[in-house]
Structure 1
Amino acid sequence: MSIYRYLLHIAYIGKPFRGAQRQVKGTFPRADDPLTVQGRLEMALKRLKPSNEPIVNMSSRTDSGVHAINGTCHVDLLRKNETVYEPRSITLCLNRYFKKQEVPIRIIKTHIVPQTFHSRHNAISRTYLYRMVIAKADSMNVAPNLHYIPIEEWDRCLFFCTNTFDLDRMKEAAKLLEGYHDFRTFMGKNSGSDEKCTRKVMDYIKVKTVDKTGYSNVYSWPSFIHNDVDDYLFVDVYLKSKSFLYRQNSLDLTI
């Protein structure tokens, strides 16, 4: 019997999902779980008609509403004729299914990996991204153009108004969180939090300003919407660690 393990690089918009990890419990054959990323991946893999039950192992258990630029997962598949599934065929088949079902998940690439590989245990780091657009004004009335944010950034960035934002102080504060610390106060409420290890090593926190042209193209922010780019500050915040706590971060990129 020839069973193969496949590593999938995946991207998704997390808003319609309750999270990445499967939530519908049960014995084999397992019921479909269309409201989680793992559940949707398993539903798509059934389209390949494997002889075994496809069980997806996620590298990161992102929370509800969290997006992924490049996450990973692995799955074992046994083909009925015991031949290998071509990785490219898996990518195309799953993406075709997601497109037809209007599910915001995409397979970036598929690889065959050894049976000893585990997408979660072998992950060396996880990087999260916060994106902010800051209008340099006291209120929305002074900065009405904030109502015309690009559609591709809608509900995916933090937008707010202030004329007292201090980027240098934010960078200084971020440095204080690097290294080994107890991040208990930064996590969401969890019934098991008292028993969990809340001490983590934060490899780095990088705060970067982004040029408007690098954030959106000229068609997204046309000149007739606003005349002065200095009215807005575009900031990306990157956090890298081997692992994070429950509801500690917002967007997943695992390598």
Structure 2
Amino acid sequence: MRIALGLQYDGTPYSGWQSQLNQDTVQDRVEKAITAFVGIAGKPPIRVITAGRTDTGVHALGQVVHFDVDVVREDWSWVRGVNAFLPESIVVNWAKPVPSEFSARYCAYERTYVYALHASSCRSPMTASRAGFLILPANRWFDVDAMKQASECLIGEHDFTSFRSSECQSKTPIKTLYSIEIVSSEPWLYFRIKGNAFLHHMVRNLVGSFLQIGLGKHDSSWMAEVLRAKDRSIAAPTFSPAGLYLAQISYPEQFEIPAPWLQNSWLPRGLL
């Protein structure tokens, strides 16, 4: 039987999603919890396939995984049972059986990331590790219109080498962005970016470059110059992972994958 799970997690304590030698990762915690719940001591742990690998310190509101297992449980039993073996920073929101042709990774056709930035003259301890932070004088704010104008050149299929980490393992730098929304609500600034897939650090590199424009260090045409250059060295530095959320994964309707469970999300509902 193939089971899909919907996950939320606070990525602060973990070295990203993907299992790594001598590191504490979200994948390791989830696989150990599933294995413990199923009760297959002495056998290899159950492995999961994920929709998208998140980096160190990056969070998820709508992560989706699947795994194959020989036992049968009720959907809610999977939720309660696996959660019993997970730390407080990770939770299963839903579980459901899916057909064997379903893949959390390969059947996904759209991924949505949200970046939450708190910008003020003083940081907030209530959002530490949950939002990016930038010091701004009380009488200053971003040029949001310039950032929105800069975003237009990024929509569609492009080579995003300029926003790609040197450690990226993607076979191609060509990705398609469907939409970029920038929402200003002082002292908050939110970015919602939808695309078919993303490169390593791509969203954080885009956010860093947007902020350079929003602060007046470059005009809006600079983003197109960076995109055309296909040169990571001329884009802005990679911005903090703290405010980045994998918000939602979209799948074909026939799989009936639930929307993210957002009742306990502190982000504005309109962003998700």
TM-score w.r.t. length of structure 1:
0.74
Root mean square deviation of aligned Cα: 2.0
**1:174 offset after TM fit, Å?**
1.4
Supply the distance in 2 between the matched residues of 1:247 and 1:44 (Cα, whole angstroms): 28
- Which residue identity lines up with residue 129 of structure 2 in the other structure? D
**1:191 offset after TM fit, Å?**
7.0
Counterpart residue number, 1:15: 12
Supply the distance in 1 between the matched residues of 2:58 and 2:23 (Cα, whole angstroms): 16
Percentage of pairs with the same residue: 30
Q: Is residue 167 from structure 1 mapped to residue 144 from structure 2 by the alignment? A: yes
Supply the distance in 1 between the matched residues of 2:194 and 2:54 (Cα, whole angstroms): 15
Supply the distance in 2 between the matched residues of 1:16 and 1:150 (Cα, whole angstroms): 17
- Which residue identity lines up with residue 104 of structure 1 in the other structure? S
- Which residue identity lines up with residue 78 of structure 2 in the other structure? I
**1:53 offset after TM fit, Å?**
4.0
Q: Could you report, residue by residue, the CA deviation over 1:149-206 in whole angstroms, capped at 9, with x for unpaired residues?
A: 251x22222222152521111111112211121111112222757xx31111110100
Which residue of the other structure, out of 201, 206, 222, is the alignment partner of 2:181?
206
- Which residue identity lines up with residue 49 of structure 1 in the other structure? G
Counterpart residue number, 1:113: 98
- Which residue identity lines up with residue 251 of structure 1 in the other structure? Y
Which residue of the other structure, out of 117, 120, 125, is the alignment partner of 1:132?
117
Supply the distance in 1 between the matched residues of 2:149 and 2:2 (Cα, whole angstroms): 44
Supply the distance in 1 between the matched residues of 2:51 and 2:23 (Cα, whole angstroms): 19
Contact residue 67 and residue 252 of structure 1 kept, 8 A: yes
- Which residue identity lines up with residue 5 of structure 1 in the other structure? R
Q: Could you report, residue by residue, the CA deviation over 1:36-57 in whole angstroms, capped at 9, with x for unpaired residues?
A: 1111111001112147741111
Supply the distance in 1 between the matched residues of 2:190 and 2:166 (Cα, whole angstroms): 26
Secondary structure of 1:17 counterpart: coil
Supply the distance in 1 between the matched residues of 2:102 and 2:20 (Cα, whole angstroms): 24
Secondary structure of 1:39 counterpart: helix
Q: Is residue 61 from structure 1 mapped to residue 53 from structure 2 by the alignment? A: yes
Supply the distance in 1 between the matched residues of 2:19 and 2:175 (Cα, whole angstroms): 25
Q: Is residue 197 from structure 1 mapped to residue 198 from structure 2 by the alignment? A: no
Counterpart residue number, 1:49: 39
Distance 1:234 1:62, change over 3 A: same
Contact residue 55 and residue 75 of structure 1 kept, 8 A: yes
Unaligned runs of 5+ in 1: 25-32, 136-142, 211-231
TM-score w.r.t. length of structure 2:
0.69
Secondary structure of 1:41 counterpart: helix
Contact residue 21 and residue 58 of structure 1 kept, 8 A: no
Contact residue 200 and residue 244 of structure 1 kept, 8 A: yes
Secondary structure of 2:54 counterpart: coil
Which residue of the other structure, out of 131, 145, 161, is the alignment partner of 1:157?
131
Contact residue 5 and residue 65 of structure 2 kept, 8 A: yes
Distance 1:97 1:164, change over 3 A: closer
Secondary structure of 1:119 counterpart: coil
**1:233 offset after TM fit, Å?**
3.0
Distance 1:164 1:45, change over 3 A: closer
Contact residue 34 and residue 40 of structure 1 kept, 8 A: no
Larger Rg: 1
Supply the distance in 1 between the matched residues of 2:9 and 2:168 (Cα, whole angstroms): 28
Q: Could you report, residue by residue, the CA deviation over 1:20-64 in whole angstroms, capped at 9, with x for unpaired residues?
A: 11224xxxxxxxx77111111110011121477411111111111
Aligned length: 203
Secondary structure of 2:81 counterpart: helix
**1:209 offset after TM fit, Å?**
2.3
